[in-house]
Amino acid sequence: MKLFRLDASIRIDGSASRALGDIVESEWVKEDSDATVTRRHVGTEPVPATAWANAVEASGLAEADRSPSHKAAAALAAADVDALVEADALLFAVPLYNFGVSQHFKTWVDLMITDPRLAPGSTALAGKPAVLATVLGGNYSAGTPREGWDHSTDWMRRVLADVWGLDLRVVKREFTLVGVNPALDQFTDMARDLHESAEEQAREHGRFLAAGRVAA
């Protein structure tokens, strides 16, 4: 069975989103040591900034009229869409950056949508089990001073669940900058509790992916 995993963190070591994704993945492979994981590291191996525009242009051109750049962009999109369609479950580990969606993840999503199989209204991924593991340096929940400053999670839900039709579960860990930014030291206990809760939810969501594999 196959798991497609995408990481959007710009870091390898010390990445909170990767750590949360690792917990989900560990539950996926626990029941089947032969399970395979296809990895896409868009944070450290980003989609070229010109790929989306080239793929959009390519979609309106006959094959004979496409430039090498058009063909390369369309092929890049098709390869990742192939991997998504062929996978039994999907895992997206994506941090919030500067209160918004990681540019690496959005650039990748924009490119994927140029492929007809993932355009709005498509059903290629409908019902496929998926987990979004996201982390936030601050705390933007109801009642906090920066409530509403998370401009990432809802957008990712809209694309993954509503546009692509995935059977999506979301695990969010907040206050990852506690222990890094001294101004947040007063929230140490809260951050620890949020960390523990997120890790438990990640394990639950990993079991959700594994259960979907067994059911299939």
Which of the 8 DSSP states describes residue 9? Answer: -
For residue 216, pLDDT over 50 is answered with no
Q: What percent of the chain has pLDDT over 90?
A: 90
Q: Residue 75 pLDDT more than 50?
A: yes
Q: Which candidate, 89, 90, 124, 27, places its Cα nearest to that of 215?
A: 89
Mean pLDDT of 113-126: 95
What would the mean pLDDT of 19-48 be, rounded to a whole number? 93
Domain residue spans of the chain: 2-215
CA distance to 7, 9, 104, per residue, from 128 (Å): 19, 24, 23
Distance CA 131, CA 207 (A): 11
Q: Tell me which of 29-43, 58-72, 81-95 is least confident.
A: 29-43
Query: Token pair 């098709």 is at which residue?
Result: 78
- Provide the pLDDT for residue 215: 40
Given a contact cutoff of 8 angstroms between Cβ atoms, the answer to whether 61 and 99 are in contact is no
Pairing of strands 167-173, 129-135: parallel
CA distances from 149 to 89, 98, 100, 137, 140 (A): 30, 9, 8, 12, 6
Per-residue pLDDT tens for 53-71? 999 999 999 999 999 999 9
What is residue 21's predicted lDDT score, i.e. its pLDDT? Answer: 98
Average pLDDT of the residues of the chain: 94
**pLDDT tens per residue across span 125-174:** 999 999 999 999 999 988 888 899 999 999 999 999 999 999 999 999 99
- Residue 196 CB partners (closer than 8 Å, separation 6+): none
Q: State the number of CA atoms in the 13 A half-sphere of 132 facing the CB.
A: 23
- Taken in order 150, 153, 159, 161, the sign of the CA dihedral is negative
**pLDDT band, residue 213 (cuts 50/70/90):** low
Question: What pTM was estimated for this model as a whole?
Answer: 0.94
150 phi and psi angles, rounded to 5 deg: -80, 100
Please tell me the predicted confidence (pLDDT) of residue 214: 42
Domain 2-215 top-level CATH class:
alpha beta
Identify each DSSP E strand in 8-148 by its residue range: 36-41, 89-97, 100-101, 129-135
Distance from C-alpha of 76 to C-alpha of 15, rounded to nearest angstrom:
26
Q: Give the residue-averaged pLDDT of 18-45.
A: 93
pLDDT of 96-106, one tens digit each?
999 999 999 99
DSSP per position, 176-199:
TTTTTSGGGGGGHHHHHHHHHHHH
Amino acid at 57: E
Please answer whether residues 99 and 149 qualify as being in contact, where contact means their C-beta atoms are separated by less than 8 angstroms: yes
